[in-house]
Amino acid sequence: MEPLRIGILGAARIAGRAIVEPARLTGARLVAVAARETERAEAFAAEHQVMRVHASYQDVLDDPEVEAIYNPLANGLHGPWNLRAIAAGKHVLTEKPSASNAEEAVRVRDAVREHGVVFMEAFHYAYHPVMRRLQELLAKGELGDLQHVEATMVMPPPPDADPRWSLPLAGGAVMDVGCYAIHAQRMLAQYAGGAPKLISARAGERKRLPGVDEWLNADLEFPSGATGAIRTSMAAESVDFSLKVVGTRGEAFAPFFVLPQNDDRVIVTTKEDTWVEHLGTRSSYTYQLEAFAGAVRNGAPVLTDADDALATMELIDACYRDAGMAPRPASTI
């Protein structure tokens, strides 16, 4: 398969593990990068062997050798630059969430359909064997009928000046970590009769930051009667990125489902026995880039496509509204 030719928008910290290392392992070429400060882009390119530095994000989009864009910008810049990349005819791998709100996600979805590009939202955990095994346990009936899904995404607070606390940049606990918990509920919906419905949500604002959620808890219900619980926070004492799936015959627990390369265990408990399965510490980001390249080169289906992104954003917006907060504003650039 011809190597994918990737341009990077920004020199974000996450890019090292999310695109640079996977590109090295899969043979993809890092063609170009731009950042707000040219010096940062030059340092990034030198460190990660990116072929060239451009003066602006738009220059990366205009580069004829770039066929796909990786977008790790601040949340509020995902939607606008995804739209520009799509309009430029580039395939897009975007960090989550792919838009600031559902209205913007509709525009992204419609643009993807119009221009016929591959679009993938970077819920990388969904491509790892840990998540696939949780789905398999339900699909094969090993846990019985699904009764409850508990997704927890909590972490200590970022610094006060971190853009993840910025309302204009679509910040907040749900947008940074909680979106994983919400997406995971949706990933298991096929085993509970369909998409979950929000029952209630509660949230707390960050001190001196009106409208920015420090934490949010939500309860869901699936058409089958199964329930879901979401707990997310950016003000916890420690990290807990776990997912528990409970069925009529047993339960499965993934203690670090969103970063399975750090902990690849799935702990299965039934009435008869308890055992631990190790699903491999190969990076979820590598699995993700392989899936993206397969979609671009071979037309393989995309699990986390623009339609999936819209459905996730609709549930995120519903959680905000029910908790008495407004959905994140769309940024203008």
d(CA 172, CA 326): 11
Architecture of domain 5-124+287-305: 3-Layer(aba) Sandwich (3.40)
pLDDT (mean) for 145-162 = 97
3-state SS of 174-199? HHHHHHHHHHHHHHCHHHCCCCCEEE
pLDDT tens-digit readout, 80-127:
999 999 999 999 999 999 999 999 999 999 999 999 999 999 999 999
Cβ-contact 85, 77 below 8 angstroms: no
Rg of the chain (C-alpha set)? 19
Q: Which two tokens stand for residue 286?
A: 């590598």
Which residues participate in catalysis according to the annotation? 96
Q: Binning pLDDT at 50, 70 and 90, where does residue 332 land?
A: confident
d(CA 47, CA 38): 14
Cβ-contact 234, 177 below 8 angstroms: yes
Q: What pLDDT, on a 0 to 100 scale, did the predictor assign at position 61?
A: 98
d(CA 30, CA 73): 17
Looking at every residue in the chain, the average pLDDT score rounds to 97
Q: What pLDDT, on a 0 to 100 scale, did the predictor assign at position 104?
A: 98
Percent of the chain with pLDDT over 70: 100
pLDDT of residue 333 exceeding 80, the answer is no
pLDDT (mean) for 219-234 = 98
pLDDT (mean) for 231-247 = 98
Architecture of domain 129-279: 2-Layer Sandwich (3.30)
pLDDT tens-digit readout, 247-289:
999 999 999 999 999 999 999 999 899 999 999 999 999 999 9
Q: What pLDDT, on a 0 to 100 scale, did the predictor assign at position 147?
A: 98
Q: Binning pLDDT at 50, 70 and 90, where does residue 331 land?
A: confident
Q: Provide CATH 3.40.50.720 ranges for the chain.
A: 5-124+287-305
Q: What pLDDT, on a 0 to 100 scale, did the predictor assign at position 29?
A: 98
Cβ-contact 269, 247 below 8 angstroms: no
Cβ-contact 122, 288 below 8 angstroms: yes
% helix, strand, coil for the chain, step of 5:
35, 25, 35
Q: What pLDDT, on a 0 to 100 scale, did the predictor assign at position 233?
A: 98
d(CA 3, CA 13): 24
pLDDT of residue 68 exceeding 90, the answer is yes
Q: What is the pTM of this model?
A: 0.97
pLDDT of residue 1 exceeding 90, the answer is no
Q: Provide CATH 3.30.360.10 ranges for the chain.
A: 129-279
